[in-house]
């Protein structure tokens, strides 16, 4: 069994692109590169910050959201959102928003809260 590198940025880009319903060709067009270039990026473990920013903008997410993307977290959120009850067949979940956008928004808020906490603690230490 091979272990996957959890920080493989290309795989994260690929999954976010797929969750957004976007094909490699569409991302390539948005970035002004070839589909083969997008394929190569998705096979890369690391990308420079400027390229990552371009990709994030094209996908409609932040660079931080790509870096910290966890498919397990997405499945946990989805699993904890919809409960399986006997009357589940009557439950028709049709959101009027993109669930991935909400996941990204919540994650970005969490990251910002952590940054604020660190900044506050640093201010306390410097006093």
Per-residue tokens: 117: 């906490």
Q: What is the pLDDT of residues 71-99, one digit of tens each?
A: 666 666 555 555 555 445 545 555 566 77
Please work out, in degrees rounded to the nearest 5, the angle formed at the alpha carbon of residue 112 by the alpha carbons of 59 and 70. Answer: 50
**Across the chain, what does the average pLDDT equal?**
81
Backbone dihedral region of 21: left (phi > 0), alpha (psi from -120 to 50 degrees) or beta? left
Using alpha carbons, list the distances in angstroms from residue 9 to 15, 87, 125. Answer: 10, 40, 34
Q: For residues 10 and 45, is the Cβ–Cβ distance under 8 A?
A: yes
At which residue do the structure tokens 């996957």 appear? 4
Rounded CA separation 120/127 (Å) = 11
What is the second-level CATH architecture of the domain 9-83+96-126?
Orthogonal Bundle (1.10)
pLDDT at position 124 is: 87
Using alpha carbons, list the distances in angstroms from residue 7 to 50, 62, 98. Answer: 18, 16, 25
Q: Is the pTM of this model over 0.75?
A: no
Give the Cβ contact number of residue 1 at 10 Å: 2
């Amino acid at each position: 069994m091979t272990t996957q590198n959890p920080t493989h940025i290309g795989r994260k880009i690929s999954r976010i692109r797929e969750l957004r319903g976007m094909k490699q060709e569409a991302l390539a067009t948005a970035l002004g590169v070839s589909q083969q270039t997008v394929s190569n990026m998705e096979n890369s473990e690391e990308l420079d910050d400027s390229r990552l920013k371009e990709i994030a903008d094209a996908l409609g997410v932040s660079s931080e959201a790509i870096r910290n993307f966890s498919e397990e977290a997405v499945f946990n959120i989805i699993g904890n959102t919809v409960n399986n009850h006997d009357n589940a067949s009557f439950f028709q979940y049709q959101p009027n928003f993109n669930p991935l956008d909400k996941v990204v928004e919540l994650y970005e808020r969490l990251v910002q809260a952590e940054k604020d906490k660190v900044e506050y603690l640093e201010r306390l230490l410097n006093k």
